Structure 1
Amino acid sequence: MSMYVDWEYYKIFYYVAKYQNFTKAARVLGNNQPNITHMMNKLEDQLHCVLFIRSNRGVTLTPEGETLYARIASAAVQIQDAEEELSASATLSHGAISISATETALNIYLAEHLREFHARYPGIRLRISNHSTPQAIQAVKNGEVDFAVVTTPAEVDNELKMVPLMPFNEILVGGRTFTALASQTLSLSELTAYPVIMLGSESMSRTFYRQFFLQHNAELKPDIEAATTDQMLTLVRSELGLAFVPEPMARGNLARGRIVQLQLRENIPSRSVCLVYDRHRPLNTAAREFQQQLLSSARKGDAQ
């Protein structure tokens, strides 16, 4: 036979048994003694046994009362721990966020925001996975990550939301041997005369440039494929060819004179860093806080 007893009664029982006193238990619970007595009588009725031996000095537990107390005490401690844990994660003293990011998004946007967030909430663990844009979007879809920060072009279906966070431009760069060429303006069709370094064919970057070249009746035939933008920059510095890279990632090398920027006749369309998340997936407090930080900084960016 199963019975339904209000958990509140067990909680009151725990305090009465702990303090062996109705009045004291009432005070701790912010209740009054007649109420507490009434509820304990009801609990005894429901359990069909006597739990307390009442005396003018207070109460002592019957053997049945002792048995119940042993069980209830451990449950009560578990519940208090859980409440503390939840309020700690609500105050962001610990917790975890998992984010999928493309290399470019991490480099030119996310790293800076992670640094600020980590300085403010050092107890939050961060798990960052490095994906291509399609992989990152898939990870959000599968519920493997809280959200993704990717670079356009990107396609998401209806259940996911995509919000632009920051626009960026790409530039054409070459090694120092291209210094003389840097004073001229090249067209896309003239690029075929030079070795071109690109990311792999499955990357969104490659899709982006394939379309860009097609629009201007030029053919994109990369001579060298690299896995990451960092690798492309290393290859450019080693005089292996020209590459299109996000301007913020080329800045340091340009400033130190390790590479040169080449001028293109055609305008390279601007790209964006975007946030992708599942609007139906509830986020933990930490992930929600970080997501809000990214969205509000994007809105400030729009306002400027």
Structure 2
Amino acid sequence: MESNLALYKIFYAVANAGNISRAAEQLHISQPAISKSIGRLEKNLDIILFTRNSRGVSLTDEGKILYQYVNTAFEAISSGEENLRYMSKLGVGHIRIGVSATLCKYLLLPYLKGFVFQYPHIKITIKCQSSIHTLNMLERGEIDIGLIGKPEIAKGLDLYSLGEIEDIFVAAPSYLDNLDLRVPGGGKDFFKNGNLMLLDEENLTRSYIDGYLRRNHIQTEHILEISDMDLLMEFARIGLGIACVVREFVKDDIEQGGLVELPLPVPIPKREISFACSSATGLSQPGRLFWEFCTSTREE
């Protein structure tokens, strides 16, 4: 069919021009090549498509029937190309983004606000879930772009860094006061004495923190698992326990005294946050527009 498509293109040009020499000029190929291609198509179909006359060529009855179908096909292709050009110019399309609720709130939304203003006709679907699920959806081609904490192994992904974040442990002053009342000096060894609030084990952040604890031989006693970092921060604010959160997300709380950052024996290494897409499938035109918008915004 692929080789026949080229023959049909030549047939279509000759039928419209009614003349082999004019068709040759339009297609930028020689007249003998045109004649040879028409001959091949006639041989493949076992019919005569053109008759010669003093002014050029004209379609036979069989050729007219074939022309109706070929004309419909090429008009459909032309219409499709025109629609694609229009969509590209107008910025029409669909982008599927995977991101955790917290990263969406604190990092993605500022980019979305500017992008939607610039490309109001592009539909955006946000899938809020853990970074592990986002990576799985990228692998299955169910989303176009993910916003994730950079995994240790990024095989098959194209990444664009948005910078680093730092994990810390925080608590409300009232919780620390009560902890010291229950266990004198309990705040100094809060891993053992405190009620630690961590993300659940399906989260990449939890895996990262568990690795930190193992490497530094830190033992924990009481852990409350929570699926969402926003809830971690809220529970810390009301004095429910000591939460592992991202410093950048509680900066105002710390500055205003609502939360206290607890000293660590060894600082938790910073980690990178990145936009990610599949290297294998690449990005659609709307996806490329979003990717380029975010990278240019970041560079500014």
TM-score category of the 2 structures, normalised to the smaller one = 0.7 to 0.9
CA contact (8 A) 2:42 2:49 kept: no
CA contact (8 A) 1:100 1:131 kept: yes
CA contact (8 A) 1:132 1:203 kept: yes
| Gap change, CA 1:221 and 1:90, over 3 Å in 2 | farther
Counterpart in 1 of 2:236? 236
CA contact (8 A) 1:165 1:274 kept: yes
CA offsets, 1:20-66, max 9 Å, x none? x549x759947699789958964785455454567779976542233
The correspondence of residues 122-201 of structure 1 with structure 2, limited to 5 A, is 122-152=120-150, 154-156=151-153, 158-160=155-157, 162=159, 164-175=161-172, 177-178=174-175, 189-201=189-201
CA–CA distance in structure 2, aligned partners of residues 5 and 229 of structure 1: 57
Q: CA deviation at 1:91?
A: 4.6
Counterpart in 2 of 1:207? 207
CA offsets, 1:219-244, max 9 Å, x none? 33444322101122232333322312
Count of aligned residue pairs for this structure pair = 291
Q: CA deviation at 1:276?
A: 3.6
CA contact (8 A) 1:163 1:276 kept: yes
Give SS of 1:220's match.
coil
CA contact (8 A) 2:93 2:121 kept: yes
CA contact (8 A) 1:165 1:294 kept: no
CA–CA distance in structure 2, aligned partners of residues 271 and 91 of structure 1: 38
Question: Do residues 270 (structure 1) and 267 (structure 2) align?
Answer: no
- The TM-score normalised by the length of structure 1 is 0.72
CA contact (8 A) 1:189 1:219 kept: no
CA contact (8 A) 1:168 1:271 kept: yes
| Gap change, CA 1:188 and 1:157, over 3 Å in 2 | farther
The AA in structure 1 aligned to 2:174 is: T
| Gap change, CA 1:88 and 1:186, over 3 Å in 2 | farther
CA–CA distance in structure 2, aligned partners of residues 116 and 161 of structure 1: 23
Give SS of 1:201's match.
coil
Counterpart in 1 of 2:182? none
CA offsets, 1:71-120, max 9 Å, x none? 11221122113323444465572233333223343233222223333332
CA–CA distance in structure 2, aligned partners of residues 44 and 209 of structure 1: 68
CA contact (8 A) 1:92 1:285 kept: no
CA–CA distance in structure 1, aligned partners of residues 2 and 197 of structure 2: 70
The AA in structure 2 aligned to 1:236 is: A
The correspondence of residues 3-42 of structure 1 with structure 2, limited to 5 A, is 6-14=4-12, 17=15, 22=19, 29=26, 42=39
Counterpart in 2 of 1:80? 78
The correspondence of residues 95-114 of structure 1 with structure 2, limited to 5 A, is 95-114=93-112
CA contact (8 A) 1:188 1:213 kept: no
Counterpart in 2 of 1:224? 224
Q: CA deviation at 1:166?
A: 1.1
Q: Which of the residues 115, 118, 121 maps onto 1:120? A: 118
Give SS of 1:128's match.
strand
| Gap change, CA 1:186 and 1:60, over 3 Å in 2 | farther
Q: Compute the RMSD of aligned alpha carbons.
A: 4.2
Note the residue ranges of structure 1 that are not aligned, 5 or more in a row: none
Name the stretch that deviates more: 49-58 or 280-289.
49-58
Give SS of 2:259's match.
strand
CA contact (8 A) 2:186 2:193 kept: no
| Gap change, CA 1:119 and 1:43, over 3 Å in 2 | farther
| Gap change, CA 1:250 and 1:151, over 3 Å in 2 | same
Give SS of 1:260's match.
coil
CA–CA distance in structure 2, aligned partners of residues 222 and 148 of structure 1: 33
| Gap change, CA 1:14 and 1:111, over 3 Å in 2 | same
- The TM-score normalised by the length of structure 2 is 0.72
CA–CA distance in structure 2, aligned partners of residues 214 and 6 of structure 1: 64
CA–CA distance in structure 1, aligned partners of residues 186 and 163 of structure 2: 28
The AA in structure 1 aligned to 2:232 is: M
CA contact (8 A) 1:132 1:204 kept: yes
